[in-house]
Chain A
Amino acid sequence: MNCDDVTKRLAEGAPLDAAAQAHAAECPACQLLLQPVEDVETLNEERLAAIRDRVVTASKPVKPLPSDPALIALLTTALLAFTFLVAHMVKMRALEALAPVQMVIYFSLILGCAIAGAIIVVGEMIPGSRLRSGGRMWMVASAVILPLTCIIIFRSYSTIHFVSRGIPCFELGSVSALGAGVLLSLFLRKGFLGFRKSAARAAGFLAALAGVAVLALHCPYLSVTHIVTWHFGVLLAGWLVGDLIGRRLEPR
């Protein structure tokens, strides 16, 4: 046992075993590292009293937010309802073009990504939540898995009317994502955003997933190039807009 072992144990927050304690007893530097940090400065009593009075005066009963699973279910249901409403308004023409297997794979994957996104967004709303970890992983995984799945399940690579068919899809996806974003921002207002940039990115990406879902229900062009470029382009746009909003929310 040497100083490095003690440092390692301290950094891991692990209790010191007998050997480490024996080393620390003989090593002055380790003894100092183990020394507790104490409250050397006391808080001004008047200031503390002023804070206390403000808190006590304003103290009114509040209802804690529902549990994480309830919030996740609520958010997913709200986004699903929004997606089906928009898709119903613009007509679900993709349902006629998709084969049952394609439908099951494509829609369940989008739903899976959306549920994962709802978990991350709920984690962003609750200070100190363990749910928020993995936000980046979720975005990267969704942005990779969705196009890869399209390459596997759709056979056509047609680029006929690539731009003229693509732009209306991108517009519809973006407008739908915008609507979902408004819905999400109302939801997020109920929480406390400790990490605004990552929260805004996650919300932007999730809103864009709602836009992708609308396109998946509406667009009958099953060309891989069309879907990857114009449908999943909405995901990139959602992430970028979320990032921009996140930066704006940070004090400058």
Chain B
Amino acid sequence: MSRPLRLDVDRLQLLMTRYQGGDGEAAAELVNTLSPQMFQFFLAQVRSRSDAEDLLQDLWLRIHNARPTYRPGEPLLPWVYTIAHRVRIDAYRRGRRVTQHEFKDESAMAFAAASSKQPEPENNVSELLNGLPESQREVLLLMKVSGLTLEETARATGSTVGAVKQKAHRAYEKLRKLLVAN
């Protein structure tokens, strides 16, 4: 079953403030409300359910440790997504180190497997996002899925508004090309 991912940001900010105050119920509600969106964010980037779940767990651990840095009244989503961005980068670096060791053995098999598969036509935006480079995909996910503004996306990714706009533009152009091709 699918459901829209847009969240009530005012409610989230209130829950976060209560979570800082040690309110367990608010913490539980915050985890329930934010997790599907964050899971989707990670899943779109790592493409493995178990990896995305691990990243989600890591995210909550870091959110828990970093919760004094949230100021009541401030937008919560850029705060959460900055931490999620960090979690993803750390996982990517750890993964790259492991992959470098395994690459030689597996690359030939992976290439053979990929070559034997016939690409299936895709006309769903969610699926086509996988064809984008990571940084463009992340920007598009933040803007399109999470509903972050350009400025919030820039803050979450440690980038500038101009760079985010450029990445989003390139991503949409590439998506359009993929849609036309399919």
Contact = CB atoms under 8 A, between A and B. Distances in A.
Interface stretch (A80-88, A146-154, A191-199, A222-230): A191-199
A51 B4 contact: no
Given A37-B145, A65-B68, A44 B53 contact: yes
A33 B49 contact: no
Interface in A171-205: 190-195, 198
A52 B36 contact: no
A61 B160 contact: no
Given A32-B123, A61-B20, A194-B86, A127 B79 contact: yes
B40 A41 contact: yes
A164 interface: no
Interface stretch (A10-18, A100-108, A210-218): A10-18
A98 to B, nearest CB: 39
Given A64-B71, A128-B79, A38 B126 contact: yes
A52 B176 contact: no
A190 B65 CA distance: 10
A50 B35 CA distance: 12
A51 B179 contact: no
- Interface SS, B side: helix
Interface string B28-61: 1001100111011001000001000100110011
Given A11-B165, A55-B28, A192-B83, A29 B156 contact: no
A126 interface: yes
A39 B3 contact: yes
Find the residue from B1, B61, B69 having the highest chain A CB count within 10 A. Answer: B69
Given A33-B175, A59-B23, A60-B22, A128 B152 contact: yes
A188 to B, nearest CB: 11
Given A52-B32, A56-B28, 15 more contacts: A13-B143, A29-B180, A33-B175, A37-B144, A39-B5, A39-B36, A55-B60, A59-B23, A61-B22, A62-B68, A128-B156, A133-B154, A190-B69, A192-B66, A251-B97
Nearest to B85: A194
A16 B1 CA distance: 29
27 contacts: A7-B176, A11-B166, A13-B149, A36-B144, A38-B2, A39-B2, A39-B4, A41-B43, A42-B1, A43-B35, A44-B49, A47-B53, A52-B27, A52-B32, A64-B72, A126-B69, A132-B158, A133-B154, A133-B155, A191-B66, A191-B69, A192-B69, A192-B83, A194-B86, A195-B86, A250-B93, A252-B97
Q: Which 7 A-B pairs have the closest CB atoms?
A: A128-B78, A61-B22, A127-B82, A192-B66, A11-B169, A11-B168, A38-B2
Contacts of A130: 151, 155
A48 B32 contact: yes
Find the residue from A11, A67, A133 having the highest chain B CB count within 10 A. Answer: A11
A124 to B, nearest CB: 10
A192 B62 contact: yes
Contact of A127 (B3, B5, B19, B66): B66
B11 interface: no
B66 A128 contact: no
